[in-house]
């Protein structure tokens, strides 16, 4: 067992008190002298050409300082994935969905900006629109982007082993279809940006609610047409992201543009409705899964076809579909596999990264089908999962290197905790339990631009200053990084001070996505802390007349391992160090790139996807009100292998949030559209769960110790959101015998299904049927 | 239409004189005029609780309250709870129990819970849920928020239990 | 979203309030504001003048006298829950007050405001920007009804929780207008029209709600089905009260006004209330209202819920 003091402890986030006292500053809390307020004008049609924009009435409104349209800005497309750029900050010729940005206004106060935006008149030539990906791929469907006449902007075809032979060898082959809906991230903080411009040096500074500052910097520079070093992105506190704050948005560009034009700071804050309609959402997906199994339920071959509804733009499309493909390859060992995926444009709100990016959809399909197959061939669903569970060290068809894997343990632990043996199939009608499993990477290994850097300064008297590019969006990344540094340098957490996610002062970091921050930025911080040790500790070893390797640091002391009294305080050590004219400041530099000897394009090639992989199983117990159709989740268990948790309390926070989020996706949330317009763009109508819906939750830690993660850690941020939905729907099947194949399972659907079932049962026993 | 008028607003014991028209909400007055930005704007339409403040001790949604309605009344915001930098037991519990992730919902939750505990010092778990259900959180899944509030309720029960009484 | 501009009056007596309403056409009363201010931000309601009730004394709380319970219009839904007399006498009322929105809405929301809240529709309760995608709907001042695809009709749905409870309890409301006061049955303040759902005079104020002391002898029940346990408006809400010789049944969120299920009541009249009878009559409930697709919930589901909630609520009174 490792002897640790700060890592592995349940510590509050370092800024929790500031947040509890209302002192933490989010983007909309910032103000600068002379600040102006912006507002966007959005398309009112789903598809059409812009004929004319009349800004005169808006400009005439007292207090209005400027109006901008797509024609006024450089013709430069942007997007988070370089080869899939297809968006303009403001639409130039064409709008592609309701809410597409066509113009922006700025004014002296928010009220005037809001009024001015309403005065901008846009004339369109309407084009036929298409709202369903299965329609959009048909011959003759309206073309949304000229570059993709079939509306399919990304396609992926992954094949491993011999799928035909696998099916031929199977005792049974089943094909089932599923649908997973559009889900909104709905972070509590609406997106915002505040930009200022220094005309003397041509420097922009933007404070913005982003989870990916360095990518944003690049996108802003390209679209504004300025060198990257002229843009400084600062991330204040961010009120949740979940992937939605990954892209550049019109507010970022327009704030910078107007700040330069007017030489005054400009702030944009989105309305809640804009967050729902005009940022990003989880891709709705149609999936067909064809699976061949032997008599025991061992999967011999699988063929998955997925059509993702991308909405009007690409955003992360290639990455999303790649993740979707690769993560059907774990947590089960499937040697013969085909994944065919299509990212299809429609005239609808835009799909993007969301917690579990591209994977909850196939996970829902596969985990539902495992239960269906188990039922059809008469095996136990838990046993079937165990039979197919992937193990550490096994050769992997796609080339994943899985050093540690607690999947089978997680299945067993979750099943036991939910009471599988006693309850499955044995509860009264209306009550049921279900399980589902999943796996997730700790960041993406082999794509460009994925390094993290860190700088650690050990200051006089033992104050530690950390610079990190990592973007804390509420998950506690900064705290985890500080814990790692504190552990290495033997100081308590409160001695470590971090400045992060400011591209003007911090080292490069890829950003918060793919659940990679702890492993990537944590390892960078660890290596910077080690660099600090390398500078100070030889000096201390000399001083103590001991071997360098024998030194340990804890409680603000450096001492000889096993002989705590033989040592000196850190403060003393630093004083001695400085007084003997050693070089100060002591600054350590660290960098970490996931080991990647594999290719950088997973769309077309294979390789080890991530530095390491986490594994988890969720189990649910539900109660169905057969009168009203309402499903209540009574209990949720998650058994999670996240390696060694750096901070178990923060890990639990991630798991709890993921479970409730997953429950929302299973039962409550659906960003529906009417004629391409989002129907329910408000907290009231979208209705994600409140504390009243929260089930009794249990987190089980599956212990593994990963060789690559800092202190053995793996991800804990996204994986748990993958499988709660199928676990819940599997539990509903156990409760009422109805097999749902689409999300969310609404009370109306449940009641209708129960009625149908009753009708069928009646019809099945004609001799008794009176009516 | 309405002229600007001078609104006298007492927030956390301090008097603010704010020139405004009647259509300004208490949330706007606090954030934009009094520059007290601890109170958050999550939806502006009364559906998330992020803007919860106390008006004469009663928790209200500042986004659906006219600033003029708060005239001659005591407004308490999240900034007004701590005394000399010392957090209230509830704030401290939110910190200690990991009830705060991004922290955007936290001020609203803390104000709602503060009002609840002033009303009813020993609410049941179900009652805590009912009274806090108007506050949305997307990060925590609520478990640790509930735990933090329950911890305060329990600590109070211990303190108020008679000496030697059963625990 | 900013509020549109308006003039604001804070009268200190009812008479002043009535005068202020009479003095400016298109003026509106502001009570808790949790319905009105949302609609103003969305710009589906654009009053030139708001008349605040907050400075008028004597409109809050309940009193008992002459065999009647009188509740001031400014009594909050929280006040109602905390009143032990009301809980004992009118459980349905207290259950309904507890069912409104979230506890925050119950703290701010008033009895008068709850009863007088505007009807709702998925094409109406949306921002100006959202609505600008379609022609202005009939209720918002245009011609078209996007639910029915027709002109000149409006099926926006009354969704208040408290009204059905009060309807089955035989509530009356006291009104004060320029010509003095009157007291009418609660049902009469609803016009049954979606476009202008209230049948009040333009400058009439609801001052109180009056209930008979022994209304249903304490045997009443309100059940609400929302998507979530809090915040949400009812998908359907059902109130039942047991009187000597029969049951009263009323619904919300199914029609342009809260409705009594007359046919169901007639069927039950004079018969002994049993579980069997309840099940037998329940299917009739589906026809008690003109249910339209004004929310995201399918119409057949709402009809099923009308029956299901009736069964559940009525059973508590057997
Ligand atoms: C997110 C959210 C969820 C909600 N959920 C529900 C719900 O589930 N169930 C529900 O019933 N309501 C719900 N509401 C609506 C509202 O909160 C309640 O109906 C509340 O009781 C309204 O009361 P108020 O005092 O705030 O009304 P106000 O908004 O002040 O007034 C509403 C209307 O009534 C008129 N009015 C007010 N008082 C009088 C009076 N004395 N005489 C004549 N007219 C008067 C006003 O002019 C206005 O037109 C919800 C609101 C929100 C924002
Ligand atoms: S901001 Fe007031 S309730 Fe959401
Ligand atoms: S902590 Fe982020 S919304 Fe609650």
> How many Cβ atoms sit within 10 Å of the Cβ of residue C201?
15
Q: How far is the CA of A239 from the centre of ligand 3 (A)?
A: 7
Residue A257 belongs to domain spanning: 31-127+196-240+245-268
Closest CB to C231 among B24, B47, B131: B47
Q: How many domains does chain A have?
A: 3
Alpha-carbon distance of C274 to C297, in angstroms, equals 31
Residue A449: the pLDDT is 61
Interface residue B21 vs chain C (CB under 8 A): yes
User: Which one of B29, B45, B107 would you pick to mutate in the ligand 2 pocket, going by the greatest count of ligand atoms within 8 A of its CB?
Assistant: B45
Which residue's CA lies nearest to atom 50 of ligand 1? C101
CATH code, domain with A485:
3.30.365.10
Domain for residue A656, yes or no?
yes
Quick one: closest CA in C to A682, which residue? Answer: C126
CATH code, domain with A264:
3.90.1170.50
The arithmetic mean of pLDDT across residues C208-233, rounded, is 94
Please tell me whether the interface predicted TM-score (ipTM) of this complex is above 0.85: yes
Contacts of A24 in chain B (CB under 8 A): 103
Closest CB to B91 among A21, A29, A682: A21
Phi-psi category of A170—alpha, beta or left, where left has phi over 0 and alpha has psi -120 to 50?
Answer: beta
Domain for residue A278, yes or no?
no
Whether residue A605 sits in one domain with residue A576: no
Do the chains contact at A98 and C311, CB–CB below 8 Å?
A: no
Do the chains contact at B61 and C108, CB–CB below 8 Å?
A: yes
CA–CA distance from A293 to each of A127, A301, A557 (Å)? 47, 7, 60
Which residue's CA lies nearest to atom 3 of ligand 2? B46
DSSP string, B90-132: HHHHHHHTT--SS-SSHHHHHHHHHHHHHH-SS--HHHHHHHH
The secondary structure of A715-738, three-state, reads CCCCHHHCCHHHHHHHHHHHHHCC
Do the chains contact at C308 and A693, CB–CB below 8 Å?
A: no
Domain for residue A154, yes or no?
no
Whether residue A352 sits in one domain with residue A404: yes
Q: Which residues of C124-162 are buried (b: 16+ CB within 10 A; e: fewer)?
A: bbbbbbbbebbeebbbbeeebbbbeeeeebbbbbbbbbb
State pLDDT tens for residues C16-47.
999 999 999 889 999 999 999 999 999 999 99
Contacts of B2 in chain C (CB under 8 A): 5-8
Domain for residue A769, yes or no?
no
Name every protein residue with a CB atom under 6 angstroms from any ligand 2 atom.
B 41-44, 46-51, 61, 63
Do the chains contact at A627 and C311, CB–CB below 8 Å?
A: yes
Residue A765: the pLDDT is 64
Whether residue A215 sits in one domain with residue A66: yes
Selection from A281, A308, A306, A286 nearest residue A179 by Cα? A286
Q: How far is the CA of C108 from the centre of ligand 1 (A)?
A: 9
First to last CA, chain C: 49
For chain C, the domains span: 1-56, 62-116+157-317
Domain for residue A152, yes or no?
no
Quick one: closest CA in B to A186, which residue? Answer: B138
Q: Which two tokens stand for residue A535?
A: 């500078």
Interface list for A 569-628 with C (CB within 8 A): 627-628
Interface residue C40 vs chain A (CB under 8 A): no
Whether residue A492 sits in one domain with residue A436: no
Residue A1: the pLDDT is 43
Q: Which two tokens stand for residue A354?
A: 């969301």
Given a contact cutoff of 8 angstroms between Cβ atoms, the answer to whether A321 and A343 are in contact is yes
Interface list for B 91-150 with A (CB within 8 A): 91-92, 94-96, 98, 100-107, 110, 129-130, 132-146
Domain for residue A280, yes or no?
no
Q: C50 forms bridges with which residues in the sheet?
A: C8, C28
Q: Which residues of A272-309 are buried (b: 16+ CB within 10 A; e: fewer)?
A: bbbbbbbbbbbbbbbbebbbbbeeebbbbbbbbbbbbb
Contacts of C304 in chain A (CB under 8 A): 629, 751, 755
Ligand positioned closest to the Cα atom of C49: 1
Domain for residue A168, yes or no?
no
Q: Sheet containing B5-11: give its strands across.
A: B14-20, B5-11, B74-76, B52-55, B58-61
Given a contact cutoff of 8 angstroms between Cβ atoms, the answer to whether A309 and A285 are in contact is yes
Please say if the pLDDT value at position B165 is more than 50.
no
Last-in-domain residue among A557, A592, A627: A592
Interface residue C7 vs chain B (CB under 8 A): yes
Interface list for B 55-74 with C (CB within 8 A): 58-61, 64-66, 68-69
Residue A672: the pLDDT is 92
Do the chains contact at C227 and A689, CB–CB below 8 Å?
A: no
Contacts of B45 in chain C (CB under 8 A): 1, 38, 41-42
Quick one: closest CA in B to C99, which residue? Answer: B130
The label of the residue with tokens 């992954």 reads A158
Do the chains contact at A687 and C228, CB–CB below 8 Å?
A: yes
Over chain A (771 residues), the average pLDDT of each successive run of 10 is 85 97 98 98 98 98 98 94 93 97 98 97 98 97 97 95 97 98 98 98 97 95 96 98 96 98 98 98 98 98 98 95 92 96 98 95 98 98 98 89 94 98 97 97 70 92 93 94 96 97 93 84 95 96 95 96 94 94 92 72 75 94 97 97 93 96 98 94 97 97 90 88 97 98 98 93 61 38
CATH number of C1-56: 3.30.43.10
Q: Which long-range contacts (CB under 8 A, 24 or more apart) does A536-540 make?
A: A536/A458, A536/A573, A536/A574, A536/A577, A536/A586, A539/A573, A539/A576, A539/A577, A539/A580, A539/A582, A540/A568, A540/A573, A540/A577
Whether residue A228 sits in one domain with residue A96: yes
Quick one: closest CA in C to A41, which residue? Answer: C129
Residue A161: the pLDDT is 94
- Please name the fold of domain C62-116+157-317: 3.30.465
Grade residue B166 by pLDDT with cuts at 50, 70 and 90: very low
Whether residue A291 sits in one domain with residue A407: yes
Contacts of A630 in chain C (CB under 8 A): 225
Q: Is the CB of A684 under 6 A from ligand 1?
A: yes
Whether residue A304 sits in one domain with residue A426: yes
Q: How far is the CA of A272 from the centre of ligand 2 (A)?
A: 10
Domain for residue A464, yes or no?
yes
Contacts of A685 in chain C (CB under 8 A): 122, 296
How far is the alpha carbon of A416 from chain B, nearest alpha carbon, in Å?
22
Selection from A272, B46, A689 nearest residue C117 by Cα? B46
Do the chains contact at B1 and C103, CB–CB below 8 Å?
A: no
- The rounded mean pLDDT for chain B is 94
Domains and CATH numbers, chain B: 5-80 (3.10.20.30), 89-160 (1.10.150.120)
Q: Is the CB of C83 under 6 A from ligand 1?
A: no
State pLDDT tens for residues C126-160.
999 999 999 999 999 999 999 999 999 999 999 99
Q: Is the CB of B50 under 6 A from ligand 3?
A: no
Which residue's CA lies nearest to atom 3 of ligand 3? B137
Whether residue A297 sits in one domain with residue A263: no
Whether residue A758 sits in one domain with residue A718: yes
Closest CB to A627 among C129, C132, C312: C312
The label of the residue with tokens 């009663």 reads B58
Residue A510: the pLDDT is 85
Q: Which residues of A348-380 are buried (b: 16+ CB within 10 A; e: fewer)?
A: bbbbbbbbbbbbbbbbbbbbbbbbbbbbebebb
Alpha-carbon distance of A734 to C230, in angstroms, equals 28
Given a contact cutoff of 8 angstroms between Cβ atoms, the answer to whether A285 and A351 are in contact is no
Quick one: closest CA in A to B39, which residue? Answer: A22
Closest CB to C103 among B45, B65, B133: B133
Given a contact cutoff of 8 angstroms between Cβ atoms, the answer to whether A360 and A282 are in contact is yes
Residue A31: the pLDDT is 96
Cis bond upstream, residue A296 (ω within 30): no
Whether residue A202 sits in one domain with residue A96: yes
Do the chains contact at C130 and A677, CB–CB below 8 Å?
A: yes
């Amino acid at each position: 067992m490792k002897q640790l003091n700060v890592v592995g402890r349940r510590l509050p986030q370092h800024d929790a008190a500031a947040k509890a006292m209302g002192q933490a500053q989010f983007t909309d809390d910032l103000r600068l002298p002379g600040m102006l307020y912006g507002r966007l004008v959005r398309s009112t049609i789903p598809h059409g050409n812009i004929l004319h924009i009349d800004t005169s009435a808006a400009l005439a409104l007292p207090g209005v300082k400027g109006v901008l349209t797509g024609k006024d800005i450089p013709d430069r497309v942007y997007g988070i994935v370089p080869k899939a750029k297809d968006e303009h900050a403001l639409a130039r010729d064409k709008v592609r969905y309701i809410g597409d940005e066509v113009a922006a206004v700025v004014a002296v106060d928010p009220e005037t900006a809001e009024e001015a935006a309403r005065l901008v008149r846009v004339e369109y030539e309407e084009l036929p629109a298409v709202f369903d990906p299965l329609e959009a791929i048909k011959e003759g469907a309206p073309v949304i982007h000229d570059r993709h006449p079939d509306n399919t902007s990304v396609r992926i075809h992954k094949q491993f082993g011999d799928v035909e032979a696998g099916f031929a060898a199977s005792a049974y082959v089943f094909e089932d279809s599923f649908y997973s809906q559009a889900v909104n991230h709905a972070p509590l903080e609406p997106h915002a940006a505040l930009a200022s411009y220094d005309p003397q040096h041509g420097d922009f500074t933007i404070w913005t609610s982003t989870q990916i500052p360095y990518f944003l910097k690049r996108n802003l520079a390209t679209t504004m047409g300025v060198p990257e070093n002229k843009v400084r992105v600062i991330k204040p506190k961010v009120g949740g992201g979940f992937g939605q704050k990954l892209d550049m948005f019109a507010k970022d560009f327009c704030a910078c543009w107007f700040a330069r034009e007017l030489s005054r700071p400009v702030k944009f804050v989105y309305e809640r409705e804009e967050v729902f309609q005009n940022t990003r959402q989880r891709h709705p997906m149609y999936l067909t899964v064809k699976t061949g199994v032997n008599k025991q339920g061992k999967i011999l071959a699988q063929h998955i076809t997925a059509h993702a509804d991308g909405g009007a733009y690409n955003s992360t499309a290639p990455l999303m579909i790649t993740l979707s493909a690769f993560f059907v390859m774990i947590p089960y060992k499937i040697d013969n596999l085909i994944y065919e995926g299509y990212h299809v444009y429609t005239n609808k709100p835009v799909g993007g990264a969301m917690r579990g990016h591209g994977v909850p959809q196939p996970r829902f399909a596969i985990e539902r089908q495992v239960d269906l197959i188990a039922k059809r061939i008469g095996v136990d669903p838990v046993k079937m999962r165990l039979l197919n569970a992937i193990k550490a060290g096994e050769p992997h068809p796609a080339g994943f290197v899985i050093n540690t894997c607690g999947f089978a343990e997680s299945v067993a632990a979750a099943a036991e905790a939910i009471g599988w043996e006693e309850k499955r199939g044995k509860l009264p009608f209306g009550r049921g339990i279900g399980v589902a499993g999943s796996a997730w990477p700790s960041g993406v290994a082999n794509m460009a631009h994925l390094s993290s850097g860190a700088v650690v300064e050990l200051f006089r008297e033992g104050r530690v200053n950390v610079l990190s590019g990592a973007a804390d969006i509420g998950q506690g990344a900064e705290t985890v990084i500080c814990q790692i540094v504190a552990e290495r340098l033997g100081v308590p957490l409160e001695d470590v001070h971090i400045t992060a996610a400011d591209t003007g002062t911090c080292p490069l970091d890829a950003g918060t996505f793919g659940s990679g921050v702890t492993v990537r930025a944590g390892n960078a911080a660890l290596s910077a802390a080690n660099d600090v040790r390398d500078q100070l500790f030889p000096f201390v070893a000399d001083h103590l007349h001991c071997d360098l390797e024998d030194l340990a640091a804890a409680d603000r002391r450096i001492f000889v391992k096993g002989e705590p009294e033989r040592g000196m305080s850190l403060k003393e050590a630093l004083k001695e160090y400085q007084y003997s004219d050693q070089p100060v400041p002591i600054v350590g530099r660290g960098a970490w790139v996931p080991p990647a000897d594999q290719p950088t394009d997973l769309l077309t090639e294979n390789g080890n996807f991530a530095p390491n992989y986490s594994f988890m199983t969720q189990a649910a117990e539900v109660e169905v009100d057969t009168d009203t159709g309402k499903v209540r989740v009574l209990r949720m268990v998650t058994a999670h292998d996240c390696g060694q948790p750096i901070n178990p309390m923060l890990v639990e926070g991630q798991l709890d949030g993921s479970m409730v989020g997953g429950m929302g996706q299973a039962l409550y949330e659906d960003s529906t559209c009417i004629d391409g317009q989002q129907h329910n763009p408000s907290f009231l109508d979208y209705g994600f769960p409140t504390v009243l819906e929260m089930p009794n939750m249990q987190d089980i830690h599956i212990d593994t110790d990963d060789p690559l993660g800092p202190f053995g850690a793996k991800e804990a941020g996204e994986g748990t959101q993958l499988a709660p939905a199928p676990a819940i729907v599997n539990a509903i099947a156990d409760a009422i015998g109805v097999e749902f194949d689409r999300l969310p399972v609404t009370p109306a659907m449940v009641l209708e299904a129960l009625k149908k079932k009753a009708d069928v049962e009646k019809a099945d026993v004609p001799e008794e049927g009176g009516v | 239409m309405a002229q600007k008028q001078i609104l006298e607003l007492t927030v956390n014991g301090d008097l603010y004189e704010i020139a405004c028209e009647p259509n300004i909400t208490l949330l706007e007055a606090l954030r934009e005029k009094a520059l007290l930005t601890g109170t958050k704007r999550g939806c502006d339409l009364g559906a998330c609780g992020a803007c919860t403040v106390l008006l004469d001790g009663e928790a209200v949604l500042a986004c659906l309250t006219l600033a003029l309605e708060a005239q001659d009344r005591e407004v308490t915001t999240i900034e007004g709870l701590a005394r000399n930098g010392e957090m209230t037991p509830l704030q401290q519990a939110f910190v200690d129990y990991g009830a705060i992730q991004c922290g955007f919902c936290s001020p609203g939750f803390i104000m709602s819970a503060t009002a609840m505990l002033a009303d009813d010092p020993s609410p049941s778990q179900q009652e805590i849920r009912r009274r806090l259900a108007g506050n949305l959180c997307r990060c925590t899944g609520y478990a640790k928020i509930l735990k933090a509030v329950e911890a305060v309720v329990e600590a109070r029960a211990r303190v108020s239990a008679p000496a030697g009484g059963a625990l | 979203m900013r509020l549109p501009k308006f003039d604001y009056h804070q009268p200190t007596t009812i008479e002043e309030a009535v005068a202020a309403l009479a003095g400016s056409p298109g003026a509106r009363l502001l009570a808790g504001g949790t319905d009105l201010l949302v609609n103003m931000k969305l710009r589906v309601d654009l009053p030139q003048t708001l008349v605040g009730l907050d400075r008028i004394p004597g409109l809050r709380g309940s009193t008992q006298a002459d065999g009647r319970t009188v509740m001031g219009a400014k009594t909050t839904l929280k006040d109602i829950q905390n009143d032990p007399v009301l809980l004992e006498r009118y459980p349905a009322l207290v259950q309904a007050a507890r069912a409104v929105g979230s506890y925050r809405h119950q703290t701010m929301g008033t009895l008068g405001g709850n009863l007088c809240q505007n009807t709702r529709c998925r094409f109406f309760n949306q921002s100006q920007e959202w609505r600008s995608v379609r022609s202005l709907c009939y209720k918002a001042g245009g011609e078209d009804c996007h639910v029915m695809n027709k002109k000149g009709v409006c099926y926006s749905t009354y969704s208040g929780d408290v009204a059905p409870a009060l309807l089955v309890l035989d509530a009356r409301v006291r009104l004060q207008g320029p010509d003095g006061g009157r007291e009418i049955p609660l049902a009469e303040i609803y016009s049954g029209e979606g476009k202008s759902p209230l049948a009040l005079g333009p400058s009439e104020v609801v001052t109180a709600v009056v209930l008979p002391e022994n209304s249903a002898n304490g045997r009443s029940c309100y059940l609400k089905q929302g998507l979530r346990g809090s915040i949400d408006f009812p998908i359907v809400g059902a109130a039942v009260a047991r009187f000597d010789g029969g049951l009263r049944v009323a619904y919300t969120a199914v029609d342009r006004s809260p409705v009594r299920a007359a046919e169901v009541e007639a069927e039950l009249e004079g018969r002994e209330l049993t579980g069997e009878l309840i099940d037998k009559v329940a299917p009739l409930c589906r026809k008690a209202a003109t249910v339209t697709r004004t929310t995201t919930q399918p119409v057949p589901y709402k009809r099923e819920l009308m029956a299901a909630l009736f069964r559940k609520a009525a059973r508590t009174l057997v």
